Structure 1
């Protein structure tokens, strides 16, 4: 079918790969499946899927390497499967370009819902006209942003986080608010937000350790001031 979403699954556990493949095919997905990172790396070079689901620990090339490869040329959604449940390990996966992560063992339904949510987040919509907010200029049609006269090099998620902040100047934005509006999650790990706020600050703040635009509101969340701290 023309609108059937295409998923690439990279998982070295044959049982997980088979069960997941059967579940997604029954749900209407088309897919390619790989058991090692080397084969997946070549497949990504030949053409990208609509969404990538990748195990972090792989023979041949790691899931982190595959994330970086995909991110170098595209903004496709990436979900990382990991048996590593520690917060610092999950943060590391996000820093390599993953949009979401699912810790093993996982429910197929949960992964399926997260995949659908990521595709919705990345679906094209009718863009608004370019606008200016304080020191920032945003062009939603081209998904680009500038600070003063300098364009900011942003990933998809960083752009969406900045856009959300710019659209809510002066408001206290909790981590749950951001997870719901930027990620589309009704549940999730606040560390995800922390990682992306830090990465965004590195690109927009004169001194990221002492932010003037995206400041921490202790005990509550964050507050965005488009003109900078007065």
Structure 2
């Protein structure tokens, strides 16, 4: 017991704590049972815990392994909870193809984290969704095709840049090195070659400044 502000306060006993846990457990079971009709419309999946969802069942280092194992039990379409967030998982080539190609319109929307969506109000390509995302995607693809994306010309530019990138990879002669900058420079050169028709040497300071910008 402790005396605080002239009032006698008693620390909660073990019985009180156990009672609170039992109450929460009964409340959770009752709540989940009352929504059985709604849950019946969803794909099957492991039963989630309050707040944690199915996080304790996942191998966080290799979550795809856990999802593959769950697909063997619940089928190619199942529900899992990443914390309080409910996610429907599609497993297998045929299922993904059916969803993203044969039913692309129904599955074409994107899940954007509310923080990012509120930050830019759906503007731009990265954090847009719904009709705004579809319109911007169509606009971007149409204009990129005008620059040669998906055509033989862009393929030739990519193969040419790969040749220069391989030369950089061969210089360390088998020793470990950081591949981050060469890959970034290669991508920047591809964009420059498609848009402007020319590329930079990897040691060119103009390429470094363009990367910084």
TM-score norm. by structure 1 comes to: 0.26
* Bigger share in helix: 2
* Bigger share in strand: 1
Between 1 and 2, higher relative CO (CA 8 Å, sep ≥ 6) is seen in 1
- Which structure's CA Rg is the greater one? 2
TM-score norm. by structure 2 comes to: 0.28
